[in-house]
Structure 1
Amino acid sequence: MSPSTMKQWVVENKDNGFDGLAYKDAPVPTVGESEVLVKLQAASLNYRDLIIPMGKYPFPCAFPVIPASDGAGEVVEVGSKVTEFKKGDQVATLFNQGHQYGAVDIPATHTGLGGALDGTLREYGVFGEKGLVKAAKNLSPVENSTLTCAALTSWNALYGLKQLKPGQVVLVQGTGGVSIFGLQFAKAAGATVIATTSSDQKAAKLKQLGADHIINYKTDPNWGETARKLTPEGAGVDHIIEVGGAGTLKQSFKAIKFEGVISVIGFLGGLNPNEQPSILDTLSNICTVRGVYVGSKELMRDMVRAIEANNIHPVVDDKVFTLAETRDAYEYMWAQKHFGKLAIKIN
């Protein structure tokens, strides 16, 4: 029997930043006929979770909302019409609950956990049967809790439009969750990986994870041309996981191969329009620039199978917070003290 009450975090509104986060008691939600009650064991944070309380998230949100999209836990109850899951199953959450197959559409963008719908920073959560996947069998709950957003976004970047092939070259930027997953997925596929960073310490960790080439973008601001020179015959990079936005896109164009794909995932480098390349740069560089909005349940299942087959383990920061320490976790991540994914242990 699950308890009748639980602890949860709530973002009250979009105006107060982290001060708008409230830690509250709440009733454990009841299960509908097509729903699943999950005892959440872990959650992880993404950059989006930090900017939602600041009102800077560009996708649909509804306030008040329980934050965070990423979570993993154990099924404790299923509705009468649920067939995919049973009590005791280990599961992970799907980011856009309505994105099941194929391309994302506008209605699916209104089903994002932790923004439009209540998320995972709570002890128990009810989710539609379609909004969960079986967790990776080789991973702990903390590790599984990192798959929902960053991992699936990287997988979509490399396999959602033009599939990565062995021997191709992938460039990842920095050491955040999306980039680290991109490095791991690319190496598992037999690709060459070029990674950028500003820290010698982080460069050493990237080498340990299998990066073939590392460029310090602080000492080499023209890293795009440097990356191109590292590719076979100087032809350029096949896939770039672009997390910097306007601050790095100009260099990504310098690095990309003809018919390569730049997957735009974030804007950590800022939104300065003066640094923004023109849309015509796609023509002069003969490449595809694609915005990636996480991925479907179908893609997430494919990703979990790949993680199990290759025994890939997410890189989780050494510091793991408790649910009660969530506000501290937000501050820690905002200060960029983390390496890889930042996790919160719940149960």
Structure 2
Amino acid sequence: MKLIELHNFGDDGFQKTERGMPSPCIGEVVIKVHAASLNFRDFMIAKGLYNPNIELPLVPLSDGAGEVVSVGNDVTEFNVGDRVMSVFWQDWNENNSNRMVSTGSDAGGVLTEYAVLPKEAILPIPEYMTYQEASTIPCAAVTAWTCIKAANIGSGDSVLLLGTGGVSILALQILKAMDANVIITSSSNEKLEQAKELGADHTINYNENPEWGSEAFSLSNGGVNLVIEIGGESTFPQTINALTIGGHISVIGALSGINVELNLMQMVFKNVHVHGITVGSREDHMELNNFLEQHEIHPVIGKTVSIDKAINEIYGMSSGSHFGKIVIDISDD
């Protein structure tokens, strides 16, 4: 079977290789991977920016979908032929809350023709979804879902999304199914038009309006209920400006830096709630799958490439040029 491994951190650390067909041990399943998708975390892992103590070599990528081809002797929850997707945290579920082992980082990932995963690290794919669509869910969509849940967002609430990457676009789709009002930012007017086509109520080009937080405050008639915050140092002050009293910030990243100067009195007077979000549990993922199936949401795939081009796409994640998700097609049919 073909697979890609990370052997060294930096700009040239991946190696393509081939191995024999794996067999499952107790509690494991073997999946024929049909598709995988990329997250910014995959770029950070490759560069050594995420966790320089990760054990190498490593099969990367947390997000994949495929077909069960064999199961361990004790596995009764899944059968050969089942369509499944990976779960981000292998040890965060109703029976375990360690959150120490994530697929594609602390344990082997899915950038391979056949992946071995513990049974706790897979879930059934919603029936209406393709393998490619399902591969976009485990990290980005679950993150969006838990951000929204943390703020108890519902119909009529206003949410500000930063950028048009995987989390923001999946959040947009989920929020519109909830009948929430969505404001989204980008430096690209073309991407903002695409977001409008998906239902965004308002768009802001942050290059054209550096005070985008104040504009979002005005557009939402008194401030947004939630900002899904990805920027960190360069965006956090504007994020606070955008909030209504009692508003929420779900922090999922810090692309521009981790050190933020805060006006604590502004946070006090606005009664700001800040949540650090690390994707979500297996149960969060299950709940999201049910919501997606109820509304038949089709994740936006901006680009699909073959496994032979996966390495270039991982390193290219830093450009931020994509809209929605980048999918790696691993199927041989």
Equivalent residue, structure 2, for 1:156: 146
Question: Which position in structure 1 is the counterpart of 2:316?
Answer: 332
- Larger mean Cα displacement after TM superposition, 247-256 or 320-329: 320-329
Higher mean C-alpha deviation, range 81-90 or range 332-341: 332-341
Correspondence 1:34-49 to 2 at 5 A: 34-49=27-42
Using structure 1 for the length normalisation, give the TM-score: 0.91
Deviation at 1:280, TM superposition (A): 5.6
Q: Give the corresponding residue for 2:4.
A: 9
Task: Say how many residue pairs are matched.
Answer: 331
Q: For the Cα contact (< 8 Å) 2:3–2:111, is it kept in 1?
A: yes
Report SS of the residue matched to 2:92.
coil
Please state how far the C-alpha of 1:59 moved relative to its aligned partner.
8.7
Name the stretch that deviates more: 305-314 or 24-33: 24-33
Q: Are 1:332 and 1:338, in contact at CA under 8 Å, matched by a contact in 2?
A: no
CA contact (8 A) 2:185 2:206 kept: yes
After superposition, give the CA deviation of every residue in 1:247-281 in whole Å (9 maximum; x if it has no partner). 1111010011222210011122x1173x5325565
Choose the corresponding residue for 2:287, options 302, 322, 325: 302
Q: CA deviation at 1:62?
A: 2.1
Identity across the alignment (%): 38
Q: Which of the numbers 220, 228, 232 marks the counterpart of 1:245?
A: 232
Amino acid at match of 2:190: Q
- TM-score normalised by length of structure 2: 0.95
Q: How does 1:13-92 map to 2 (within 5 A)?
A: 13-14=8-9, 17-58=10-51, 61-92=54-85
* Aligned positions of 1:185-204 closer than 5 A: 185-204=174-193
Aligned position for 1:285: 270
- The separation in 2 between residues aligned to 1:324 and 1:307, in whole angstroms, is 31
Task: Specify whether residues 242 and 277 from structure 1 end up closer, same or farther in structure 2 by C-alpha distance, changes over 3 A only.
Answer: same
Residue equivalent to 1:271: 257
1:285: Cα distance to partner? Answer: 2.4
1:181 to 145, 149, 170: 170
Change (3 A) 1:175 1:59: farther
**3-state SS, counterpart of residue 81 of structure 1:** coil
**1:332 Cα shift?**
3.5
Aligned partner of 1:285: which letter? K
Deviation at 1:300, TM superposition (A): 0.5
Structure 2 segments unaligned to the other structure (5+ residues): none
> Gaps (5+ residues) in structure 1?
1-5
Query: Which amino acid in 1 is paired with 2:286?
Result: R
Pairwise CA RMSD = 1.7
